Structure 1
Amino acid sequence: MGDGLDRRRLLLVAGGSALAWGAKAQPTEGVASSPLATTPENQAATFRSQDQTRPVRAIRCGTNVRRLRPHARQLSRLSYPHAGATRSLDDYMTRRRTGGVLVLKGGEIALERYGMGNGPESHWTSFSTAKSMTSTLAGVALQDGAIRSLDDPAERYLPDLSGSAYEGVTVRNLLRMTSGVAWKEDYDPTGPSDVVRLGAAMEAGRPGGVLALMRSLPRAAPQGARFNYSTGESCVLGAIVAAATGRSLADYYGEKVWGPAGMEADGYWQLESKDGLELGGLGVSARLRDFGRFGQFVLEDGVVGGRRILPVGWRDLAGQPDIEATGFGKLQPGYPLGYGYQWWVLPRQVGSVHDGAFTAQGIFGQFVYVHPREQVVAVVWSAWRNAWEDDAELETYALLGAAVEALRT
């Protein structure tokens, strides 16, 4: 997939670096104060325990749990080709420091495996996979009528954005990350980085600090003309959903998705400050099966028990590029994926095992993979020692591709 250097730098800080400066509480023994300041020994415990280092709000589950029955074909001996060799699932999990793997076919469990000290009741932080959850909530708000149109300007819902570079930017272009508002999501030893400023706003712990930062940014391009990955942009989108619905993201998510989709346990969402806004770009923690149920909810286009929660066709709208700026191979040179509405989209290639699939991604190797044509959902938790590893991404897609093929017959 090319060297992807610039994108890796983006993902390095997406959902991670803000936490590095934003940790406020004293962690318990064996948990690092930041997910970027871990050792090999405490990394998994830190990923399980992000509620100990940030203020959070619970995402409440309902009373009816969606049962995930075993699939007739089990993949416990799954193998796959990679780098000229045939690899086993056990080998993958050991080398890639895998905390959990779940594969669903038609809503049934074909593979469930834990590592790094995790078990079925463990929570794990999502990093930037939360962006895809925020996008999904925007779709729910559209279906509810709380958001009138994706082509409404941001200031219709957040009047304080009037007079800023976000004035006139549509909700749709926020979903695409094509606002045209300047944002540098990178470590830069020679100059300022906006994600560092985001972390500082979190560390200050002042309600409204993140939006104040976003209002201060200048314009860099016409909206819709350029893709620019921005955790801050996802936070703006989350704030719009909260303002439009009059609900916190966690409460709205619990009522509209977490409960109806049959999650088995409460999740939690990190906040910018105590009792403040959820961080729309990061910070949802939940059990492995509940991440799988979220993917299944999206795969099924937001229909639960005959009740429609997402607009008709939302899955296919959100799960593919819809303008040139977010098209396949357009995000950066040498990287073939496209971008939908806060989802990464695998190339549409006839005959490819991944044709039609899209995925949420988070640093250190977090994936929620949705493949509508094959009716497959997969979740991968990882504790990579680098924030992003190109070869590990390729190997993960090889593993998931082998799972898709094995479940075809």
Structure 2
Amino acid sequence: MKTWKKIGLVLLFILIVCCIWLYPKYKMVNLTMHLFDEDKIVTNFRSFDSIWPVSVLEAPSNKHIYSEGTPLNLPESFQFEGKDYNIQNFIEDSWTTGLLVIQNDSIVYENYYLGNTESTRNISWSMAKSFISALTGIAIEEGHINSIEEYVEVYVPELKGTAYEGVRIKDVLQMSTGVKFNEDYADFFSDINRWGRGFAMGNSQDKFAATLEREVEPGTVCHYVSINTHVLGMILKRATGKTITEYMQDKLYNPLGMEYDGYWLLDGTNMEMVLGGLNLTLRDYAKAGSLFLHHGFLNGKQIVSEDWVKASTTPDAPHVQPGNEFGYGYQWWIPKSEQGEYMAMGVYGQYIYINPTTKTVIVKLSANPKYNESSYVPSSDFSTLEFFRAIALPFQENEKDEDLISIVE
């Protein structure tokens, strides 16, 4: 009888240990399964560090604080596809959690919604890709990466024999790897959702990237594959000898003078979720926009080379040109425009909009549970673009007036 009691106690101990080990994974999987539920999405988007392992980006002592400009009254409405939309209704209907307008380097509009505040760190989703692009440009400038014409396997030899062998770094930057991938968030069985469930279980993103297959010739078709950005992260990590967090802390976070601590989500191998796991405040996202608006120069320093900023935001091949759809640069979205606009975009309504003509940066964070409803206008990237243009347009007129005054003087 004593033997059976001992066996029972051992089994109970093993069960308790297993439960302790599995519970964090259960919490992450459960969060993933209910991440976009209407009654949870807002809280989830600002609470990842309470569930997930993270690596912290520490706010430097030399913070860049935006000055306060003349307060902006948002326009009453904007037009999209021949219809008028009330701006305040659009803000509400797209589940906006933060909206910031920077004009000539000053804050002219800042508002928070649905419980977010100035210090709330919100998930970037794919806006993170534009930060990774900037880090890639810095790594090239510093000589860690020789050229974007090099093949992926030069820096990540474990991807030999996979869909990424023979793919140029430039093709990865331009989402033109030829990799077969389904990025449909509404499809439970899509590749992006398979990846998401694996990430929640702590699986290696490196190993997932190695499983993907080739569909078309690299450098010929722009097809959005989030894992491409993970491959850029693998290249950066190998080339610099630093984690993404360490390299970003030194090369972007400190020089930009971020106001608050930020963080990256980590997988089970402690690799950052570079394709969309950055969490920053509204104002700190804006600093990336200000950096690119000023051609890579901010706070008295050339942080990213001017050539890289130009190349990143200029589609240079037929298959990445804007038309009925957005064009694509080096991890930046390029709309058809006469004003040189470009955007960082993330699913469920995350945007950094930059208009070099009007000198405007707009950041919009959201938690839109209707994002996958294609007929729902507030979920459209194109309606949001027109929303941004309606805000920026008056500044274009102001710039013209100032130019006229300077000519007269």
Same fold per superposition (TM over 0.5): yes
Pairing 1:298–2:298 present: no
Pairing 1:68–2:93 present: no
Corresponding residue to 1:375 among 359, 363, 368: 359
Q: Distance in 2 between matches of 1:263 and 1:253?
A: 12
Q: What percentage of residue pairs aligned between the two structures are identical?
A: 30
Pairing 1:256–2:251 present: yes
Partner of 1:337: 326
Once the 2 structures are TM-superposed, how far is the Cα of residue 346 of structure 1 from its aligned partner? 1.0
Q: Distance in 2 between matches of 1:35 and 1:126?
A: 19
Gaps of 5+ in 1: 1-22, 330-334, 350-354
Greater RCO, CA 8 A, separation 6+: 1
C-alpha distance 234-82 of structure 1, shift in aligned 2 (>3 A): same
3-state SS, counterpart of residue 133 of structure 1 = helix
Give the conservation status (yes or no) of the 8 Å contact 1:128–1:361: yes
C-alpha distance 187-33 of structure 1, shift in aligned 2 (>3 A): closer
Equivalence map 1:268-347=2 (5 Å): 268-273=263-268, 276-329=270-323, 335-347=324-336
Partner of 2:155: 157
Partner of 1:397: 385
Partner of 2:27: 26
> Where is the helix percentage greater, Structure 1 or Structure 2?
2
Give the conservation status (yes or no) of the 8 Å contact 2:32–2:200: no
C-alpha distance 152-50 of structure 1, shift in aligned 2 (>3 A): same
Amino acid at match of 1:347: K
Give the conservation status (yes or no) of the 8 Å contact 1:79–1:402: no
Greater mean alpha carbon deviation, residues 306-315 or residues 34-43: 34-43
Corresponding residue to 1:129 among 127, 130, 137: 127
Pairing 1:366–2:355 present: no
Q: Distance in 2 between matches of 1:137 and 1:223?
A: 23
Q: Distance in 2 between matches of 1:381 and 1:252?
A: 25
Q: Distance in 2 between matches of 1:67 and 1:195?
A: 37
Once the 2 structures are TM-superposed, how far is the Cα of residue 39 of structure 1 from its aligned partner? 4.0
Once the 2 structures are TM-superposed, how far is the Cα of residue 82 of structure 1 from its aligned partner? 3.0
Kindly provide the CA deviation profile for residues 104-147 of structure 1, in whole angstroms up to 9, marking residues without a partner as x. Answer: 11211111111111111111111111111111111111111111
Pairing 1:221–2:216 present: yes
3-state SS, counterpart of residue 256 of structure 2 = coil
Give the conservation status (yes or no) of the 8 Å contact 1:35–1:46: no
Q: Distance in 2 between matches of 1:183 and 1:376?
A: 35
Aligned residues: 369
C-alpha distance 233-81 of structure 1, shift in aligned 2 (>3 A): same
Partner of 1:203: 200
Give the conservation status (yes or no) of the 8 Å contact 1:35–1:43: no
Amino acid at match of 2:365: W
Kindly provide the CA deviation profile for residues 344-375 of structure 1, in whole angstroms up to 9, marking residues without a partner as x. Answer: 111034xxxxx211111111111011122221
C-alpha distance 195-40 of structure 1, shift in aligned 2 (>3 A): closer
Kindly provide the CA deviation profile for residues 257-302 of structure 1, in whole angstroms up to 9, marking residues without a partner as x. Answer: 11111110111111122x5111121111111100111211122222
Pairing 1:49–2:81 present: no
Q: Distance in 2 between matches of 1:254 and 1:106?
A: 26
Q: Distance in 2 between matches of 1:366 and 1:298?
A: 18
Runs of 4+ more than 4 Å apart: 83-89, 187-190
3-state SS, counterpart of residue 149 of structure 1 = coil
Q: Distance in 1 between matches of 2:307 and 2:131?
A: 17
Computed over aligned residues only, the root mean square deviation of the Cα atoms, in angstroms, reads 2.4
Partner of 2:168: 170
Once the 2 structures are TM-superposed, how far is the Cα of residue 328 of structure 1 from its aligned partner? 1.5
Partner of 1:9: none
Q: Distance in 1 between matches of 2:179 and 2:250?
A: 32
Once the 2 structures are TM-superposed, how far is the Cα of residue 200 of structure 1 from its aligned partner? 4.0
Give the conservation status (yes or no) of the 8 Å contact 1:177–1:229: yes
Give the conservation status (yes or no) of the 8 Å contact 1:79–1:86: no
Kindly name which structure, 1 or 2, has the bigger radius of gyration based on alpha carbons: 2
Amino acid at match of 2:63: V
Partner of 1:145: 143
Give the conservation status (yes or no) of the 8 Å contact 1:131–1:342: yes
3-state SS, counterpart of residue 185 of structure 1 = coil
3-state SS, counterpart of residue 381 of structure 1 = strand
Q: Distance in 2 between matches of 1:311 and 1:102?
A: 26
Q: Distance in 1 between matches of 2:211 and 2:27?
A: 31
